[in-house]
């Protein structure tokens, strides 16, 4: 079939004078099912619609949006596979140097808040064409939300982008329903009935089974109202039990969120992933060095979506939902066989997973009949009695993939939920994981070791992780392997003070770990943890939460996790002194750092000179 049209010449070759939809995207055009724009465009084409792609338009030039002409039914917009602000900035606010979703990895090809900018660009040129926004950026900003980068409380992205509709979540079903409605002549303002969509209106009299949220003005004036609103939203992310949510705005405007689209059946998942993707980036990018993001996913398999893990710092509950949906073994094996035929395939399948690799079915039987529990998590604070921890299906799949001709090794690089692994009474999967699917190091995400912080994170207790570590080491010993664990850790999460950060450093000292990578907590839109960061309140229970917002304290918490790095010495020392833990400065086996040696005269002069220069620079900045 080939790539979808990206130019008038492409349209002429396919004999098309006007496209049904023009899809404006913040990423490079990669026709692979790991990219949201590829799935949505291919699904629409499979339903008989024509779709063209405008990738990374010049948002300063109105002509860039007219490249494919006026679409018959509407414009679709996605900011990209990542939120554009996360794509652009580190949590410190510093600008990232590369963009893996842009040709050649070059930064600067999309604007900040890309969905909003693209929406307003289209509105300036085409005032009456329907505009539907989607993707992770729109999905997580669909209602009023805290924006970390501007440190402000923002309206629904539907209003700021001037779009008509949001297709939130994964979007395959809702976007087809929207397309069918437009094709049947229904005005976009009257498309108010599609699950998985958000619309704006001034008339809410006909809405059924609704829940009125606090108004935007009330939330902006009192952050506690936002915490209350978010908790209500969190309880209504299930397609079986979710209510229609109504958020009032000034001048009689309401933003209305319909309940989520139903989860895909296994056959529907297969149909989506069996579409004729080209499985790579558009050839026009070849001279620019290709698109770096393809390297990570080119030989990986997506076996599931959705996650019942419920981590508070993760937005999966809001985007994909808690009900796990899976592809059939037959579909995955077909894709794997296609990989083995690729001349670049070296025999290694890099991953078989999804948001959580070892979730291959809903957590319990009732979820597919009654939905997920509103006020109860499947794994937190401990596994629910109704949880079905069973790896047999996943194990069978991995064995089938390992047996394929041309496949040397099948790795698992998606996250393994270790508490779910421990809940399975059968250790067969655990043994085969260690024996066949670890490449020397297994990456897991305990995130922290202080139970008070873990509770705010929605993660299992320290004792659960330590039980997993012990079992993992014992399994390696049994199999005669020397494989290690690489724990992912997070600093400065709400609830973490210097005291907890020091406890984590002591744990790393005692276990001998020296993390190379540490993630500062990043307050991204629509997570429970971000609401804690903004409001200082845990939305689940209304309790006050300590929040580290001071950049210097954040730097100290981060440095403590990597206390052995020479460059972190001063920050670690300052943190220990501030917390009254000078007992950890010395030469004993329990000390984190040694007392600072008296610097030489030359070094002291250089330090003094550096401090003077920095002071002068700061004075000039304040004057400016």
3-state secondary structure of 294: helix
Confidence of residue 542 (pLDDT cuts 50, 70, 90): very high
526-553 average pLDDT score? 96
76-86 average pLDDT score? 97
144-153 average pLDDT score? 97
Confidence of residue 553 (pLDDT cuts 50, 70, 90): very high
Q: How far apart are CA 471 and CA 258, in angstroms?
A: 45
Radius of gyration, alpha carbons of the chain: 26
The token pair that represents 288 in the structure block: 């620019």
Helix (H) or strand (E) holding 145: strand 145-147
Q: How far apart are CA 220 and CA 156, in angstroms?
A: 13
CA angle, corner 144, sides to 139 and 145, nearest 5? 80
Q: How far apart are CA 418 and CA 409, in angstroms?
A: 22
Using CA atoms, how far residue 543 sits from 225, 373, 495, 538, 595, in Å, is 14, 22, 11, 5, 40
Residue 384 in this model has a pLDDT that exceeds 70: yes
Q: Which residues share a beta bridge with 442?
A: 485
Residue at 546 is within a domain: no
Closest to 518 measured CA to CA, from 483, 473, 564, 549: 564
Lowest mean pLDDT among 87-96, 416-425, 533-542, 603-612: 603-612
Residue at 369 is within a domain: no
The token pair that represents 568 in the structure block: 């972190």
Task: Please say whether the beta carbons of 254 and 201 come within 8 A.
Answer: yes
CA angle, corner 58, sides to 56 and 59, nearest 5? 100
Task: Please say whether the beta carbons of 247 and 143 come within 8 A.
Answer: yes
Residue 616 in this model has a pLDDT that exceeds 80: no
pLDDT at position 570 is 96
Residue at 380 is within a domain: no
Count of the separate structural domains present in the chain? 1
Residue 618 in this model has a pLDDT that exceeds 50: no
Neighbour-count burial for 241-277, b at 16+ CB within 10 Å, e otherwise: ebbbbbbbbeeeebbbbbbbbbbbeeeebbbbbbbeb
Read off the pTM: 0.92
pLDDT at position 516 is 80
What confidence tens digit (pLDDT) does each residue in 14-65 have?
999 999 999 999 999 999 999 999 999 999 999 999 999 999 999 999 999 9
Percent of the residues in the chain that have a pLDDT greater than 90, as a whole number = 91
Q: How far apart are CA 508 and CA 579, in angstroms?
A: 18
pLDDT at position 296 is 87
DSSP 3-state percent helix, strand, coil across the chain (nearest 5): 40, 15, 45
Residue at 186 is within a domain: yes
pLDDT at position 598 is 46
DSSP output for 87-114: HHB-TTSPBPSB-TTSGGGBS-SS-TTH
The token pair that represents 253 in the structure block: 């405007």
User: Which CATH number do you get for residue 174?
Assistant: 3.40.50.280
pLDDT at position 617 is 52
Closest to 36 measured CA to CA, from 53, 50, 20, 17: 53
Residue with tokens 């009032």: 248
Percent of the residues in the chain that have a pLDDT greater than 70, as a whole number = 95
Residue at 247 is within a domain: no
- The values of phi and psi at residue 60, to 5°, are -95, -5
Confidence of residue 439 (pLDDT cuts 50, 70, 90): confident
Average pLDDT, the chain: 94
509-531 average pLDDT score? 93
Residue at 528 is within a domain: no
- Domain residue limits at 19: 8-199
pLDDT at position 374 is 87
User: What does the DSSP 8-state code read for residue 605?
Assistant: H
pLDDT at position 609 is 53
Residue with tokens 């049947």: 184
3-state secondary structure of 21: strand
Residue at 49 is within a domain: yes
Question: Which residues, other chains included, contact 124 with Cβ-Cβ below 8 Å and sequence gap of 6+?
Answer: 62
Residue at 35 is within a domain: yes
Closest to 294 measured CA to CA, from 101, 99, 493: 101
pLDDT at position 539 is 96
- The values of phi and psi at residue 260, to 5°, are -60, 155
539-561 average pLDDT score? 96
What confidence tens digit (pLDDT) does each residue in 176-217 have?
999 999 999 999 999 999 999 999 999 999 999 999 999 999
Q: How far apart are CA 263 and CA 51, in angstroms?
A: 25
Residue 266 in this model has a pLDDT that exceeds 80: yes
A 10 A CB-CB count for 481 gives 12
Confidence of residue 503 (pLDDT cuts 50, 70, 90): very high
Q: How far apart are CA 377 and CA 390, in angstroms?
A: 18
């Amino acid at each position: 079939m080939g790539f979808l049209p990206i130019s008038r010449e492409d349209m002429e070759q396919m004999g098309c004078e006007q496209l049904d939809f023009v899809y404006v995207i913040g990423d490079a055009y990669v026709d692979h099912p790991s990219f949201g724009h590829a799935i949505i465009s291919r699904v629409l084409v499979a339903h008989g619609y024509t779709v063209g792609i405008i990738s990374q338009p010049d948002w300063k030039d109105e002509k860039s949006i007219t490249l494919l002409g006026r679409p018959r039914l509407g414009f679709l917009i996605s900011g990209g596979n990542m939120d554009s602000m996360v794509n652009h900035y580190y949590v410190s606010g510093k600008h990232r140097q590369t963009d893996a979703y842009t040709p050649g990895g070059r930064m600067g090809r999309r604007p900040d808040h890309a969905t909003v900018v693209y929406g307003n660009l289209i509105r300036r040129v085409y005032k009456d064409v329907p505009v539907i926004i989607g993707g992770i950026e729109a999905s997580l900003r669909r209602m009023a939300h805290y924006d970390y980068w501007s440190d402000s409380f923002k309206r629904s992205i539907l209003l700021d982008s001037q779009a008509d509709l949001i297709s939130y979540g994964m979007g395959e079903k809702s976007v087809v329903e929207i397309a069918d409605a437009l094709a049947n002549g229904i005005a976009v303002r009257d498309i108010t009935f599609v699950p998985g969509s958000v619309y704006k209106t001034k008339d809410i009299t006909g809405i059924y089974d609704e829940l009125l949220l606090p108004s935007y003005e009330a939330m902006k004036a009192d952050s506690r109202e936002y915490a209350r609103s978010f908790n209500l939203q969190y309880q209504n992310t299930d397609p079986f039990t979710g209510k229609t949510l109504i958020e009032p705005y000034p001048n009689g405007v309401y933003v209305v969120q319909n309940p989520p689209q139903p989860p895909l059946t296994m056959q529907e998942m297969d149909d989506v992933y069996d579409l004729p993707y080209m499985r790579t980036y558009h050839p026009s990018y070849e001279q620019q060095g290709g698109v770096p993001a393809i390297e990570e996913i080119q030989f990986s398999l997506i076996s599931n979506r959705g996650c019942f893990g419920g981590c508070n710092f993760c937005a999966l509950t809001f985007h994909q939902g808690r009900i796990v949906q899976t592809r059939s073994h037959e579909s995955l094996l077909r894709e794997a066989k296609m990989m083995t035929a690729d001349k670049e395939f070296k025999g290694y399948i890099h991953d078989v997973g999804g948001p959580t690799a070892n979730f291959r079915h809903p957590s319990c039987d009732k979820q597919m009949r009654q939905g997920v529990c509103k006020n109860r998590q499947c794994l937190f604070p401990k596994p629910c009695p109704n949880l079905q921890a069973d790896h047999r299906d996943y194990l069978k799949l991995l064995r089938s993939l390992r047996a394929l001709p041309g496949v040397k090794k099948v790795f698992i690089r998606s996250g393994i939920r270790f508490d779910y692994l421990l809940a399975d009474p059968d250790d067969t999967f655990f043994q085969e994981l260690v024996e066949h699917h670890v490449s020397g190091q297994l990456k897991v995400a305990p995130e922290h070791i202080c139970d008070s912080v873990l509770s705010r994170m929605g993660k299992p207790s320290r004792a659960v992780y330590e039980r997993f570590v012990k079992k993992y080491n014992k399994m390696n010993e049994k199999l005669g392997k020397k494989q290690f664990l690489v724990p992912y850790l997070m600093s400065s999460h709400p609830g973490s003070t210097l005291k907890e950060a020091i406890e984590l450093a002591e744990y790393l000292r005692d276990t001998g770990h020296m993390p190379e990578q540490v993630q500062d907590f990043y307050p991204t839109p629509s997570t429970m943890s971000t609401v804690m960061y903004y409001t200082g309140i845990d939305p689940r229970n209304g309790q006050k939460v300590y929040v580290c917002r001071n950049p210097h304290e954040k730097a100290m918490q981060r440095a403590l996790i990597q206390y052995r790095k020479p460059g972190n010495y001063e920050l670690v020392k300052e943190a220990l002194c501030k917390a009254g833990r000078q007992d950890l400065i010395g030469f004993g086996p329990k000390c984190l750092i040694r007392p600072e040696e008296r610097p030489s005269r030359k070094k002291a002069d250089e330090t003094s000179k550096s401090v003077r220069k920095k002071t002068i620079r700061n004075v000039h900045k304040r004057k400016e």
